[in-house]
Chains A and B, each alone.
Chain A
Amino acid sequence: GQSLEQPSEVTAVEGAIVQINCTYQTSGFYGLSWYQQHDGGAPTFLSYNALDGLEETGRFSSFLSRSDSYGYLLLQELQMKDSASYFCAGLSGGYNKLIFGAGTRLAVHP
């Protein structure tokens, strides 16, 4: 089986940096993904790490350490529009069986 653990809530101020952690337990591992979801909206893809290390996409970066079964999403220069829920997700035992964590709700304050 597979499970992914992430904090339920994070609060930060505009312009700051925030890190959202994700630890996972999997029977097989094919990479860690991150998705963003605004209230009332659909999840949208942010980042994917198949191998160890850092992936950078604009203000967002994602990191993976397979030996530690750990990853994180780093959001820089926070903006009010970054207030949303963020989900880590991993494949469970095969392609397309993508399992999500419970999500981290990020609140950005002025």
Chain B
Amino acid sequence: NAGVTQTPKFQVLKTGQSMTLQCAQDMNHEYMSWYRQDPGMGLRLIHYSVGAGITDQGEVPNGYNVSRSTTEDFPLRLLSAAPSQTSVYFCASSRTGQGEGYTFGSGTRLTVV
């Protein structure tokens, strides 16, 4: 039972490059989210989805795109990487979307130079 799988675990990008962070869950959860975590700032919501074909913006959406073509996958795209996007990115999924039982992936540590 894999839960939430994120790839890659580590990535270094040059300023201006684009990339996609992958997230997949095998629990048939409708609700999925992307967060970034910076020191001393907790987790900040980037984008979220309440089901296939439905996405919405969170607290810090600028510079990121998402899509949800299947229930299982929720990739996060960085359009033109900036040093300010250096962070740890977590994907999470939930059955109810009500705050209980969010399952997080192990994270992607991204450095933009």
Chain B binds chain A: yes
A residues near B, CB below 8 A? 8, 30-33, 35, 41-45, 48, 50, 87, 89-91, 95-103
B residues near A, CB below 8 A? 31-33, 35, 40-45, 48-50, 56, 58-59, 90, 92, 94, 96-107
Contact of B42 among A30, A50, A87, A95 (CB under 8 A): A87
Are A43 and B43 interface neighbours, CB within 8 A? yes
Contact of B97 among A90, A95, A102 (CB under 8 A): A95
Are A31 and B43 interface neighbours, CB within 8 A? no
Question: For the complex, what is the distance from the CA of A90 to the CA of B99, rounded to whole Å?
Answer: 7
Listed A/B pairs (22) with beta-carbon separation below 8 Å? A8-B40, A30-B98, A41-B106, A42-B90, A42-B106, A43-B90, A48-B98, A48-B99, A50-B98, A90-B99, A95-B96, A95-B97, A95-B98, A96-B50, A97-B48, A97-B56, A98-B102, A99-B59, A100-B42, A100-B43, A100-B44, A101-B42
